[in-house]
Structure 1
Amino acid sequence: MVTRGSGPIRVVLVDDHEMVVEGLKAMLGAFRSRVRVVGHCIGAEDAVEVITGLAPDIVLCDVRMRGSSGLDLCRRVLQRDPASRIVLLSVHDDEQYLFQAVRAGACGYLLKDIGGADLVRQIESAHAGTTVLDPGMAARAVDTAARMQSNEFWPGSRHGLTQRESEILSHMVTGMSNRAIAGRLVISDETVKSHLRSIYRKLDVGDRTGAVAAALREGIFR
């Protein structure tokens, strides 16, 4: 196994889109004296073994990937090596993902529109032991956490559901179909399906029936 040492911060990239990986390599390549990409994985399938073998200082990992998620990968890597430092990258400007990332043990949550210089600074901060968060999301998350704690939020917020997901789940409980929900909310069927996948994950269920049962069991809608 490679051991952690001095010199540029050693980084492993994990994303299921090769274009994103190559873009990050090019971006970080301009800062070779400060960071060095020592490996990458296209998708999460072999990522645990790659990360364990290379023992990078920082892992930059996508939040959502086909067949898996950066959150699941984060948990598996930390089970192997609790000292690992994992920063999740996402296009999702949703503080609920940020909360889930922190609960999973990630040391950071950044948006993919971050510039190269800022990303390197955040990597350096994460390597130094700081939890790094997108500034705008961090500000909103503080307000969200306070309102959730005082029960001033929407049904399901304590389970990590966004307001839209809560709305969709409420319609599911009344028996509405995906198409009917899409029509009611003026969104596409695919958007409804995307929200359903997120709802299932957050409620730890496998299907629509399980989600409705969880909503009733947990008293989400009173």
Structure 2
Amino acid sequence: MRTGSPIRVAVVNDYAIVVAGVAAMLAAHRERVKVVELDSGLPVLTDVDVILYDTFGQVQGDGVDLEDLVHGSSARVIIFSWNTQPDLVERAIVKGASGYLSKALDGEAMVEAIEAVHAGTIVLPRDEAGGTVDDPSAERGAWPGREVGLSHREAEVLALITQGLSNQEIAERSYLSINSVKTYIRLAYRKIGVTRRTQAMLWGMQNGFEPDRIRVVDAEASEA
């Protein structure tokens, strides 16, 4: 464990805008947490203390390949998600995650959780009831389509459509009921002005909903 220096963090998700949004939330706390690598669709290469895995459009729970994330390092993994169902959280922790955070947290709370995980504490969502956070007032960070009014859930469903998943696969990936998936699809279609799935997929491909393959490394990190 490093002492007297910021905790080194990598943020991971398949969408560059998502990882950049998470990094921006932590930017005001550079003296405590230093984001040294942002990875979209690529493995973490820098020696970091904590890997923050954002679940937007990704596999979740025990489906997360933690060994692939840590890439043989001693980094601890924190799952950052809107889905905080107790069974989902439990499976992620049992598989080896060191923390599971709700996306309703602000930057200060995230940093406190990262510090706790770095110190060896298992951190769980503060909402003991668990569930799926879906309060527009709690939405933080960034995601594709936010500029046109898509909520985080609508954007995630559209991202999965763009990836070619069926409604049932989307429900299984995002831990939503099939009826909820259909509701989010209707709302998203209305906001982006389409009526058919093929139109939605085309719109998604033209508006940043295809997964990225980008790595951004802090220049100082490679020298540390």
For the superposition of Structure 1 and Structure 2, which TM-score range results when normalised by the shorter chain?
0.5 to 0.7
- Whether the 8 Å contact between 1:4 and 1:55 is mirrored in structure 2 is no
Equivalent residues in 2 for 1:55-134 (5 A)?
55-63=47-55, 65-66=57-58, 71-78=63-70, 80-81=72-73, 83-134=74-125
Displacement of 1:74 after TM fit? Answer: 1.2
Larger relative CO (CA 8 A, sep 6+): 1 or 2?
2
- Whether the 8 Å contact between 1:15 and 1:61 is mirrored in structure 2 is yes
RMSD of aligned alpha carbons: 2.8
Cα distance change, pair 97–63 in 1 and its aligned pair in 2 (3 A): farther
Equivalent residues in 2 for 1:1-222 (5 A)?
6-43=4-41, 46-47=42-43, 50=44, 53-63=45-55, 65-66=57-58, 71-78=63-70, 80-81=72-73, 83-137=74-128, 190=167, 192-196=168-172
Displacement of 1:130 after TM fit? Answer: 0.3
- Cα-to-partner distance string for 1:184-213 (whole Å, 9 max, x where unaligned): xxxxx82x44235579xxxxxxxxxxxxxx
Displacement of 1:124 after TM fit? Answer: 0.5
- Cα-to-partner distance string for 1:16-49 (whole Å, 9 max, x where unaligned): 2222211111111100110110001113xx21xx
Identity of aligned residues (%): 34
SS in structure 2 at match of 1:10: strand
- Whether the 8 Å contact between 2:20 and 2:38 is mirrored in structure 1 is no
Q: TM-score, normalised by structure 2?
A: 0.54
Q: TM-score, normalised by structure 1?
A: 0.55
- Whether the 8 Å contact between 2:49 and 2:118 is mirrored in structure 1 is yes
- Whether the 8 Å contact between 1:78 and 1:105 is mirrored in structure 2 is no
Displacement of 1:7 after TM fit? Answer: 0.6
Which of structures 1 and 2 has the bigger CA Rg?
1
